[in-house]
């Protein structure tokens, strides 16, 4: 599903440049649930942003579902993001003046799905994350966990090939974190490919594979026995 | 079609409605500009209409021709010879110059611009006395307060009737006295009054102290024979007056043995010149109005653009999220440009409504006054359409500025914004 080869990325800051990713090689198969770990500043977010086509790499190859991702125009990148990827952010990033339902329907709007169909589909996904009764509430009326579940529904709504989550539980307490992880596991159980950046060991162990980043390279990449989040909920 | 995209409109009205007060302040500039533009244009139109009212009843494409004295000796004649036209000249000119629509011959009693004593019951007035054809009314219309103007029957039967000016009436009759059917006496001949005219606040070549009698009656009563003093000529609208003026002069010069270069022997006055001057004046006025209006409009639209720039800055993160979810730069830009258009168009309409109200008030205050050329100040539909298209066009151009700013930030940077 995802294949990257010898990926490099550095940030230029004035005259110096900070080499963040120093040759990453990495492959993710269909249906995997991968945790990306590493200390702060190790380049986890940078990697995820490149995978999400929000940022470009300096060199190296990136193939997503057989499509080479290189030198994309902003328009093309937006279309690919819409079609291939779902984003889940640490700070939820819901649009504050839109209801939960409208937020979930937004990616479908950019796919030019007709309004009625969009609403129905968005409602299905809200139901899936257990928030159907909250459909017409504004984000400000939801708890952190609920917001993140709306964000997950929104990421799912366009039926992307890969879900990218950058510290999805970073802003949540442990109980709510497990609820969110439970949801992510369920989605993964249905065959969706998911990458989760996290700091927390327990969250990482709810995935099926852990990739460790250090100083811009992968230092460890291992398959693990998945801990089900459901038992803590 | 994005125009019917309900979500687009919901979003636009949401973002505009979120900060009503600021949105309103933003629009003030354009409202003000539209008011200025419409008021200026409307006033220019009002003046134009006012002039038209003044000249109503005067054929604009017309000229007057009379005889003067020669200034060059020619064919044995000495200079200073007085030119006197004959009534047959009218027929000759009409026949030879097809562009002439109406030709009204006139003869004046006494010397040119002199007055004659007119008597009635012991009252006397010194008035100009003209022998006229009814056609003169097609060139300089008389506004009758009572009775009628001269007609064809008067001419055919050489009736002893006359139409008098209001001034003459005041001199000869008592206040409120009925004049119609009463006789007045000129050079010992009695004429019955059939009509009284008053100045209709238009250009009045003949003045209001004058007596008009049928041309044929004049000939018999005052023994003028085949003489003719003066011609009022209406030219068909497509032909420039100077073109016909030259032909007339050439024919008359030839007929009366006037030196071809003698410019003083034949007097003439081209009415169309005045009309053309006024038309250019009002056009300059309108052009000026547009010029000033467009620049105020530009200033107003720039203010809108500025506010949108601020809005875009405030919404950086939101726009970043949208782009992560698949909004292409085109979609993002479109929304901001449409916001600019909606703001401008709405403000423009508000300004238009206000200024139309002001114009209506102006009209009720000065519109019917006789002493100031001002009537029905209003902008025409084409002017409205042009202003509106210009305004919206400007707003699209200016809206592109914040729109481009919105997509200039890369999505990753926009998302990092707090
Ligand atoms: N836009 C940028 N400009 C300059 N330097 C940057 C930029 N983004 C990230 N960096 C630097 O690159 C390095 C990697 O950043 P990144 O955000 O990928 O780390 P991270 O592993 O996600 O850390 P954290 O766990 O704290 O989120 C850091 O040293 C950071 O300061
Ligand atoms: Mg990070």
What is the DSSP annotation of A182-201? HHHHHHHHTT-EEEEE-S-H
Report whether pLDDT(B201) > 70. Answer: no
The whole-number average pLDDT for the span A32-43 is 93
Q: What is the pLDDT of residue A232?
A: 82
pLDDT band of A53, cuts 50, 70, 90: very high
Chain A residues with beta carbon closer than 8 angstroms to that of B331: 110
Give A73→chain B minimum CA distance, Å. 10
**Residues with Cβ < 8 Å from A204, sequence gap 6 or more?**
A35, A37, A196, A198, A210
Q: What is the pLDDT of residue B108?
A: 87
Please report the residues numbered 326 through 385 in chain B whose beta carbons come closer than 8 angstroms to any beta carbon of chain A: 326-331
Please report the residues numbered 74 through 133 in chain A whose beta carbons come closer than 8 angstroms to any beta carbon of chain B: 74-75, 78-79, 81-83, 87, 89, 93, 95, 97, 106-107, 109-111, 115
Q: What is the pLDDT of residue B371?
A: 60
Rounded to the nearest integer, the mean pLDDT of chain B is 86
CB atoms within 10 A of CB A150: 26
Q: What is the pLDDT of residue A20?
A: 92
Q: What is the pLDDT of residue B54?
A: 73
ipTM of the modeled complex: 0.92
Report whether pLDDT(B284) > 60. Answer: yes
In this structure, are strands B123-132 and B116-120 parallel, antiparallel, or unpaired? antiparallel
Q: What is the pLDDT of residue B2?
A: 64
Q: What is the pLDDT of residue B301?
A: 86
Chain A to chain B, count of Cβ pairs less than 8 Å apart? 58
Digit-coded pLDDT (tens) for B85-125: 999 998 999 899 999 999 999 998 887 667 888 888 888 88
The whole-number average pLDDT for the span A45-72 is 91
pLDDT band of B203, cuts 50, 70, 90: low
**Residues with Cβ < 8 Å from A145, sequence gap 6 or more?**
A172, A176, A179, A180
Digit-coded pLDDT (tens) for B228-260: 988 999 998 888 999 999 999 999 998 888 888
pLDDT band of A29, cuts 50, 70, 90: very high
pLDDT band of B370, cuts 50, 70, 90: low
Q: What are phi and psi of B129, to 5 degrees?
A: -125, 125
Q: What is the pLDDT of residue B17?
A: 77
Whether the CB-CB separation of A158 and A82 falls below 8 Å is answered with yes
Q: Which residues pair with B153 in a beta bridge?
A: none
> What distances in angstroms separate CA B331 from CA B33, B293, B326, one per listed residue?
30, 32, 10
Q: Pocket residues for ligand 1 (CB within 6 Å)?
A: A 11, 13, 18, 20, 38, 40-46
């Amino acid at each position: 599903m995802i294949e990257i080869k010898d990926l490099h990325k550095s940030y230029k800051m004035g005259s110096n440049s900070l080499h963040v990713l120093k040759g990453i090689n990495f492959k993710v198969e269909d249906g995997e649930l991968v945790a990306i770990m590493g200390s702060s500043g190790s380049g986890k977010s940078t990697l995820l942003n490149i995978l999400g086509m929000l940022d470009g790499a300096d060199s190296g190859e990136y193939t997503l579902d057989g499509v080479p991702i290189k030198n994309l125009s902003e328009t093309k990148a937006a279309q690919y993001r819409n079609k291939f990827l779902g984003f889940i952010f640490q700070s939820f990033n819901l649009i504050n003046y839109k209801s939960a339902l409208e937020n979930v329907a937004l990616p479908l709007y950019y796919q030019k799905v007709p309004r009625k169909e969009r609403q129905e589909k968005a409602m299905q996904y809200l139901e899936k994350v257990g928030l159907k009764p909250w459909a017409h509430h504004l984000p400000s009326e939801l708890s952190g966990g609920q917001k993140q579940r709306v964000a997950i529904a929104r990421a799912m709504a366009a039926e992307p090939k890969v879900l990218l989550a950058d510290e999805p539980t970073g802003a949540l307490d442990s109980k709510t974190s497990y609820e969110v992880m439970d949801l992510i596991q369920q989605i993964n159980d249905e065959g969706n490919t998911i990458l989760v950046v996290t700091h927390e060991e327990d969250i990482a162990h709810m995935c099926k594979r852990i990739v460790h980043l250090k100083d811009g390279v992968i230092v460890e990449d291992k398959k693990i026995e998945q801990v089900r989040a459901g038992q803590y909920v | 079609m994005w125009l019917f995209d309900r979500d687009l409109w919901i979003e636009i009205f949401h973002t505009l409605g979120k900060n009503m007060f600021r949105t309103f302040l933003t629009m003030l500039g354009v409202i003000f500009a539209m008011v200025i533009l419409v008021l200026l244009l409307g006033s220019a139109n009002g003046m134009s209409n006012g002039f038209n009212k003044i000249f109503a009843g005067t054929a604009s494409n017309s000229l007057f021709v009379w005889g003067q004295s020669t200034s060059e000796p020619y064919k044995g004649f000495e200079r200073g010879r007085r030119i006197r036209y004959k009534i047959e000249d009218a027929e000759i000119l009409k026949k030879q110059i097809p562009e002439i629509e109406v030709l009204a011959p006139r003869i004046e009693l006494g010397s040119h611009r002199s007055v004659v004593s007119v008597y009635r019951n012991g009252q006397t007035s010194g008035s100009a006395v003209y022998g006229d054809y009814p056609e003169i009314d097609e060139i300089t219309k008389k506004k009758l307060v009572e009775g009628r103007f001269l007609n064809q029957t008067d001419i055919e039967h050489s009736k002893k009737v006359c139409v008098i000016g209001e001034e003459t009436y005041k001199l000869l009759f008592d206040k409120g006295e009925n004049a119609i059917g009463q006789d007045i006496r000129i050079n010992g001949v009695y004429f019955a009054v059939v009509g009284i005219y008053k100045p209709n606040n238009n250009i009045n070549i003949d003045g209001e102290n004058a007596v008009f009698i049928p041309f044929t009656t004049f000939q018999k009563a005052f023994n003028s024979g085949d003489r003719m003093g003066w011609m009022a000529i209406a030219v068909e609208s497509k032909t420039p007056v100077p073109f016909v003026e030259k032909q007339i002069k050439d024919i008359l010069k030839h007929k009366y043995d006037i030196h071809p270069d003698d410019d003083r022997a034949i007097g003439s006055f081209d009415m169309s010149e005045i009309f053309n001057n006024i038309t250019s004046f009002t056009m300059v006025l309108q052009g000026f109005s547009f010029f000033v209006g467009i620049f105020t409009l530009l200033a107003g639209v720039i203010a809108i653009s500025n506010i949108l720039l601020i809005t875009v800055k405030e919404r950086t993160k939101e726009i970043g999220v949208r782009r992560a979810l698949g909004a292409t730069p085109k979609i993002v830009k479109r929304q901001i440009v449409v916001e600019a258009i909606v703001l401008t168009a709405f403000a423009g309409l508000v300004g238009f409504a206000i200024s139309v109200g002001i114009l209506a008030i102006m009209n009720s205050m000065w519109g019917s006054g006789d002493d100031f050329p001002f009537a029905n100040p209003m902008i025409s539909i084409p002017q409205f359409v042009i202003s509106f298209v210009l305004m919206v066009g400007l707003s699209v151009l200016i809206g592109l500025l914040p729109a481009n700013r919105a997509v200039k930030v890369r999505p990753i940077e926009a998302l990092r914004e707090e």
